[in-house]
Amino acid sequence: MPELPEVETVRRGLAPYVEGARIEAVTLNRKDLRFPFPRGLAKELTGATIESVGRRAKYLLFRLSSGKTLLSHLGMTGSYRFEALTFKEPSRYYEPRPEEKHDHLVLELSHPRHGKLRLIYNDARRFGFVDLFGDEAESPYLAGLGPEPLGNDFNAEEMAARCKGKKAPIKAALLDQRAVAGLGNIYVSEALHRAHIRPEVEARKLVLKNGAPSRRLGDLAQGVRTVLIEAVEAGGSTLRDFRAADGGPGYFQHRFAVYDREGEPCPTPLCKGTIKRIVQSGRSTFFCPVCQKK
DNA sequence: CCACTAACCTGTAGGC
DNA sequence: TGCCTACAGGTTAGTG
């Protein structure tokens, strides 16, 4: 489900309710997600206060008063939702409901303003996972991640360094979290369309002989940034089941230029192309064969 | 090191 | 309606 804009949307939805909340109780409804839960997870979390919720790439990072950080990846189908156990402002809360299928992790929280809340992690496919660490350097998941595409150290020169010598298609290079962190299958297709680059182009072809970025790579860096910014502003994309923590859908899917639009006209001004779908490394890629050049 | 495939797991949409 | 297949927003382990 979630790429950077969806994870950021979740983070923004969670922050007002979990920041400052104390974790009163933890329930694990099974022993693992994609990987086993960290040893002593419930014990480590219980009694701690969540000081802030951050994001790195597609990871949510809950900073705890104990000094530890809870890392959460949503995989393809992970989601968080709230239920209020006490109602300080009734209109804005969700009533407790029976447990749903695939509710794997439940945190009972007490928040100084919102009262008692239940934060529930649901994940049908269980490709998601959590980790707990004291220092970011200890986390194997954060090690080796490429730059944040919306941060200051993401630019065409940086991309050139990561693409240099790579024979892999640019589509695959952009999906590689070591090159740029946070893109997934949707936003890669969208960014390549914005930059008018065909997804099959070898990554190394976008780097000049002296290692400098080509103009097209500059366009691509810009395309990555703008599509992500616009998607975050729209609250992410809801294809099947993505929901922010407040239960609301995202709206960016209405603005896809190519993703899941096979057979539709290309939205590039004056372009008469028709969107095509191909499969690259086992996954769908969408592009316009007319305005996206080799 | 690089590139590619299969695997993990469940739900759903579409064809017949 | 039911059965079957293909596919889904991600990552990693294994292979050559």
Fold held by A4-138:
N-terminal domain of MutM-like DNA repair proteins (3.20.190)
Instruction: Report, as an integer, the average pLDDT of A262-289.
Output: 94
Task: Identify whether A58 is a catalytic site residue.
Answer: yes
Burial label, A133 (beta-carbon count in 10 A; 0-12, 13-18, 19+)? middle
pLDDT of residue A192: 97
Distance measured from the CA of protein residue A175 to the C1' of nucleotide C9, in angstroms = 12
- Please report the pLDDT score of residue A240 as a whole number: 76
Show me where the domains of chain A are located: 4-138, 156-287
Instruction: Using alpha carbons, select from A97, A68, A95, A73 the residue that is nearest to residue A84.
Output: A95
pLDDT digits (tens, 9 = 90+) for A115-163: 999 999 999 999 999 999 999 888 999 999 999 999 999 999 999 999 9
Q: How far is the CA of A75 from the C1' of B10 (A)?
A: 13
Q: How far is the CA of A76 from the C1' of B12 (A)?
A: 14
On the question of pLDDT at A93 being above 80, the answer is no
**Contacts with A100 (C-beta within 8 Å, 6 or more apart), sequence order:** A122
Whether any strand C atom is under 7 angstroms from the Cβ of A237: the reply reads yes
pLDDT at residue A10 greater than cutoff 70: yes
pLDDT at A137: 83
- The proportion of chain A whose per-residue pLDDT surpasses 70, expressed as a percent, equals 98
User: What pLDDT, on a 0 to 100 scale, did the predictor assign at position A229?
Assistant: 97
pTM: 0.96
User: In the structure, what pLDDT confidence band is assigned to residue A88 with cuts at 50, 70 and 90?
Assistant: low
pLDDT exceeds cutoff 90 at A32: yes
Q: How far, CA to CA in Å, does A180 sit from each of A64, A212, A236?
A: 27, 17, 18
The answer to whether the beta carbons of residues A204 and A168 sit under 8 Å apart is: no
> Which of A157, A202, A283, A289 is an active site residue?
A283
CATH no. of A156-287: 1.10.8.50
Residue A101 has what pLDDT?
A: 93
Residues A153-192: tens digit of each pLDDT: 999 999 999 999 999 999 999 999 999 999 999 999 999 9
Q: How far is the CA of A247 from the C1' of B1 (A)?
A: 44
Which positions on strand C lie below 7 Å from a protein C-beta? 7-12
d(CA A1, CA A41): 25
In this prediction, residue A90 has a pLDDT band, given cuts at 50, 70 and 90, of low
Give the pLDDT of residue A1: 63
Q: Looking at A11, A58, A162, A171, which residue is catalytic?
A: A58
Is strand C within 7 Å of residue A5 (CB)? no
Q: What pLDDT does A94 receive? A: 81
Chain B positions with any atom < 7 A from a protein CB: 2-13
pLDDT at residue A209, rounded to an integer:
94
pLDDT bin (cut points 50, 70, 90) of residue A248 is confident
Task: Read off the pLDDT of residues A35-83 as tens digits, 9 standing for 90 and up.
Answer: 999 999 999 999 999 999 999 999 999 999 999 999 999 999 999 999 9
Per the prediction, chain A carries an average pLDDT of: 94
A230 phi and psi, to 5 degrees? -65, -35
Find which nucleotide's C1' atom is closest to A75's CA: C10
Question: Averaged over A19-29, what is the pLDDT?
Answer: 98
| A75: number of Cβ within 10 Å | 18
Active site residue A283: yes
Assign A242 a pLDDT band (cuts: 50, 70, 90): confident
